[in-house]
């Protein structure tokens, strides 16, 4: 497994002390930070200088490999109307047919649905701290890395984690649902 390191202080604001809480965080980032504290996670969110609405923008800002970005894709479960959260590596593409094999038929989610279901805007959807509990899936592609990064509730906010954190936090085992790479 490889692990790239964030480069230089220009890439992001200096990380706060482990588990530190910054009251200047936007409300959505505060919600993620609170959930991370509840889970006993030592790394608080970091605010990036530039927006990282895409996995590539986040990887560039952090100086890490594209695959180290754990992107959160939200789909709509057609039968229940619930959000389906798919977390996969930034260098992979979610295969909706594979997702459907695990949870049933899914469709695309528009920005209004994503905001209502998760409490986050597209480009800042965190894998945790959602307004309503989603159906969740984690792609096994993330286990190529020791350390990964996920959105922390805002396009400028991210947090570091290990792939093994996700199954504990989301209560699901990793599956193969992404293609590419």
Residue 49 belongs to domain with CATH number: 3.90.960.10
pLDDT tens across 79-137, in order? 999 999 999 999 999 999 999 999 999 999 999 999 999 999 999 999 999 999 999 99
Q: What is the pTM of this model?
A: 0.85
Task: Say yes or no to pLDDT of 77 above 90.
Answer: yes
Domain hosting 49: range is 27-179
**What per-residue confidence (pLDDT) applies to 25?**
82
Distance CA(103)–CA(82), nearest Å, equals 11
Task: Say yes or no to pLDDT of 8 above 90.
Answer: no
* Nearest CA among 14, 3, 9, 26 for reference residue 149: 3
pLDDT tens across 132-158, in order? 999 999 999 999 999 999 999 999 999
Partners of 47 in the beta sheet? 157
Kindly indicate the confidence band of residue 4, based on its pLDDT and cuts at 50, 70 and 90.
Answer: very low
Question: Does 166 reside within a domain?
Answer: yes
Question: Does 67 reside within a domain?
Answer: yes
| Structural domains of the chain, count | 1
Judged by DSSP in three states, 33 sits in helix
């Amino acid at each position: 497994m490889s692990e790239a390191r964030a480069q230089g202080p220009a890439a992001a604001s200096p990380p706060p002390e482990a588990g530190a809480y910054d009251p200047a965080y936007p409300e959505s980032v505060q919600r993620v930070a609170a959930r991370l504290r509840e889970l006993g996670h030592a790394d608080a969110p970091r605010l990036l200088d530039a927006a990282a609405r895409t996995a590539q923008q986040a990887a560039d800002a952090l100086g890490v490999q594209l695959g180290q970005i754990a992107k959160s894709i939200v789909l709509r479960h057609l039968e229940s109307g619930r959000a389906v959260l798919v977390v996969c590596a930034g260098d992979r593409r979610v295969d909706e047919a594979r997702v459907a094999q695990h949870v049933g038929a899914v469709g695309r989610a528009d920005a209004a649905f994503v905001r209502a279901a998760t409490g986050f805007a597209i480009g800042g959807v965190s894998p945790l701290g959602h307004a309503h509990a989603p159906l969740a899936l984690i792609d096994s592609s993330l286990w190529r890395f020791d350390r990964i990064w996920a959105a922390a509730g805002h396009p400028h906010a991210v947090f570091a984690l290990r792939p093994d954190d996700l199954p504990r936090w989301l209560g699901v085992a990793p599956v193969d649902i992404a293609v590419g790479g």
